[in-house]
Amino acid sequence: MPEPVAPDGSPVELYALLPGRGEGDLVARVAGTGSEVLELGCGAGRITRQLLALGFRVTAVDESAEMLARVGGAELVHARIETLDLGRRFGTVLLASNLVNVAATELRQALLDACARHVVAEGAVVVERLPPGWQPRPERAWLGALESWIDGASTHDGVVSGTVVYELGDSRWEHQFSMRPLDDAALEEALAAAGLAFDATLDEQGSWVVARPAT
């Protein structure tokens, strides 16, 4: 039987193995203690588990039922992000990795619109992007016990495409990607179109960005 994959091609078993890298601590810098976080695109719960351990209440959204089956302790919502409308707002909305993995401008804008639709007026939206100036490199990296690298990368009209490869022992996963890196100007323009304004970055690389509803 083939391993389950999410609608975007993400291998579920692989994503269940990915270790946390302190993302929850970054979100905690802007989220009120014990508050509720809306996590858009939670995957197999890598960041969800971190937030729950820090005492946050989490509403976790993903379009993959197989991914959501790996998530415990949160309110689960099986839905696409871009059309989501829960009819309520949250103090903190988190969009991790989804903005990274988007090449289509229209989809990127729909994701940011969903963030704006669900954040309270005084709240914060935390999004992840590729670091400004990012370029694919052939060097291998380690994610816990997983070894990963990018194979066959190419760039055309600002879109980077290729295959990311993961290995763990005798297991191997390949996931094709197409991404459009966002520099500061492009990000601020996209945020503004969603009624959001850039506020700060949470890491030295500029990958994690805080935006707030524009006034």
Whether 7 is covered by a domain: the verdict is no
Whether 136 is covered by a domain: the verdict is no
Instruction: List residues bridging with 178 in a β-sheet.
Output: 161
In this predicted structure, what is the pLDDT of residue 102? Answer: 83
Q: Are residues 167 and 193 in the same domain?
A: no
In this predicted structure, what is the pLDDT of residue 170? Answer: 94
Q: Are residues 172 and 194 in the same domain?
A: no
Q: Are residues 72 and 149 in the same domain?
A: no
CATH number for the domain harbouring residue 35 = 3.40.50.150
Q: Which of 113, 72, 74 is nearest to 95 (CA)?
A: 113
Q: Are residues 112 and 164 in the same domain?
A: no
- The Cα-based distances of 120 to 43, 78, 123, 158 in angstroms read 24, 22, 5, 33
Q: Are residues 166 and 193 in the same domain?
A: no
In this predicted structure, what is the pLDDT of residue 138? Answer: 81
Which domain covers residue 174, as residue numbers?
141-178
In this predicted structure, what is the pLDDT of residue 3? Answer: 79
Whether 118 is covered by a domain: the verdict is yes
Whether 106 is covered by a domain: the verdict is yes
Whether 3 is covered by a domain: the verdict is no
Mean pLDDT value across residues 5-14: 88
- Total domains present in the chain: 2
Q: Are residues 44 and 89 in the same domain?
A: yes
Q: Are residues 35 and 19 in the same domain?
A: yes
Q: Are residues 151 and 94 in the same domain?
A: no
Q: Are residues 88 and 155 in the same domain?
A: no
Q: Are residues 17 and 41 in the same domain?
A: yes
Whether 174 is covered by a domain: the verdict is yes
Q: Are residues 33 and 115 in the same domain?
A: yes
Q: Are residues 49 and 121 in the same domain?
A: yes
Express each pLDDT in 111-170 by its tens digit. 999 999 999 999 999 999 999 888 888 899 999 999 999 999 999 998 999 999 999 999
Report whether 105 contacts 180 (CB < 8 A).
Answer: yes
Mean pLDDT value across residues 56-76: 97
Tell whether the model's pLDDT for residue 1 goes beyond 80.
no
Whether 6 is covered by a domain: the verdict is no
In this predicted structure, what is the pLDDT of residue 165? Answer: 95
Per-residue H/E/C for the chain: CCCCECCCCCEHHHHHHCCCCCHHHHHHCCCCCCCEEEEECCCCCHHHHHHHHCCCEEEEEECCHHHHCCCCCCEEEECCCCCCCCCCCEEEEEECCCCCCCCCHHHHHHHHHHHHHHEEEEEEEEEECCCCCCCCCCCCEEECCEEEEEEEEEEECCEEEEEEEEEECCEEEEEEEEECCCCHHHHHHHHHHCCEEEEEECCCCCCEEEEEECC
Mean pLDDT value across residues 42-49: 96
Tell whether the model's pLDDT for residue 83 goes beyond 90.
yes
